[in-house]
Each structure stands twice: as C-alpha cells, then as structure tokens.
Chains A and B, each alone.
Chain A
C-alpha cells in the first residue's frame, strides 16, 4: 500500500474526512458555541497580552495563547457544522439558503464594521488617556487573527439565530 493510500485510510479511520469538502456532516444551528469562541478569543488575547507586558505570569500567558489558538481553530472548523453558507456536501445552495446567507452576511457585516470602526476610534484616542493599545508585532498580528476568527464566526452565529430550529428529520 502506497503512502497516499495509507494517509487516506488514516483520514477515514480517524473520521477526519468529515472536514473535507465532500464529507457528510450533520449540520445544525449553533447558537451558543460561537459565543463561547468569541469570548475565548478575547480572553485568550487578553491573557497573552497581559503576560507579554509582565502583568501576568508566563504560565498564564501560555494558557491564554492555547485558549486563543484553540478558539481560532474552532472558528475555522465550526462553519462546517453550522447552517450551510456556501455550496458544500456536493450540493449548491438553494434559494432559502442563499437568502439566509445574504441576511446573515448583511447583519454580521454590519456588526463587524461597527466593531472595527469603534476599535479604530478607540486606538485613536487611547494613547491620550494612557489606555491599552496593542504594542509590538505579536499583539497586532494576534489582533488580526482574532478579527479573522470573528469574521468567520459572526455570519454563522447570525444565520443560526435567523434560521428556525431544525427537527430531527431535517438535521442531516
């Protein structure tokens, strides 16, 4: 058996094929889990930044980093199990799903824009009040990673709340 075949068998045995574009996934409304991810991103970032500035122990900083990157990973994987927002599972979006995606993207886009604009104004005046501002490449890079995670999770969160609950027959 070749290496590629072995890798295929491993992926199938470990059930990792559920993460591939053609994997069959059980989709459902994820109404609370994205909120946990959003909170974990913020908390992990805060702990990391606090430790980097010497306010917290390095162990706390490592724990914060683990929480942050675990939440980022979850933000990347979670959309595969929430409401369908893009063609997947070998099927195109139908008209209801396309409408749901449009409304969820509109709402989450508005929320994201408000978040970013508020952040920009905050950074503009924070130094005046000697308030916290990201410093150094690591903090800025993590801020970007965190915003990317929010951009991934917010549309799914909005769609999960807009879409009525699925019954057992439908949650496939």
Chain B
C-alpha cells in the first residue's frame, strides 16, 4: 500500500512537470490570416519565410496556430504584406471570408 502510494505520487509529480513544460497554459490563443494573405498574394511558404527571416516550417506552424510569433516577427510579417499588424493577428477568431463577402454583397 505504502509503495503504491509513493509510486502514485511520483507519477503525479512527473505528469505535472511534463504538463508544465509541454503546455502553454498562461497565454491565450492568437489567430492569424497569414494563409489567406499568402494565398491572396500568391506567395509560397518558402518565399514568405525567406522574406521575414524564418524557416518555412515556422510559417506552417504559424498558419496552423501551433506557434505564436514574437512581436518582432508579427510586425515583419505585417510589414511584408503592407498591412497593420492587427489585420493579420488577433486574439479573437477572424470572420470567415465567405461571410465577409456576403455582408459586402448585401451592403452593396
């Protein structure tokens, strides 16, 4: 009983340490429109990566929301597309393009 208790405690400690190291619990999600902007301009991941000074894999992670960029990288990406940084990055999800188009059509 005693050894089981110790084993359980050690397991809990190890799982906690792994969770602290592997998860990002203290920051909120950052949504972005990089893929949309890239498709709009006809730029490949590799081209964008070269322009902003990161590896192409990092652009893929950014687009999927698996990585949150530093302020410097976010501003470099926004600068590359020539738009304000808040047009590409947001703390809340962006409206789908189809809905924006529909709204624009209705307004017209």
Binding site for B on A (CB under 8 A): 84, 91, 94-97, 103, 106-107, 110, 158, 161-162, 164, 166-167, 169-170, 172
Contacts and interface: CB of A to CB of B under 8 A. Distances in A.
- Chain B's interface: helix, strand, loop or mixed, by majority? helix
What's the interface size class on B, roughly?
20 to 34
B94 interface: no
Nearest to A158: B21
Contacts of B17: 107, 110
Contacts, number: 46
Interface of B: 17-18, 21-22, 45, 53-58, 60-61, 64, 66-67, 69-70, 72-73
B73 A172 contact: no
Residue among A91, A106, A162, A169 with most chain B CB within 10 A: A169
B18 to A, nearest CB: 8
A91 B57 CA distance: 13
Contacts of A161: 22
**Which 3 A-B residue pairings sit nearest by Cβ, starting from the closest?**
A94-B54, A107-B21, A164-B66
A95 B61 CA distance: 12
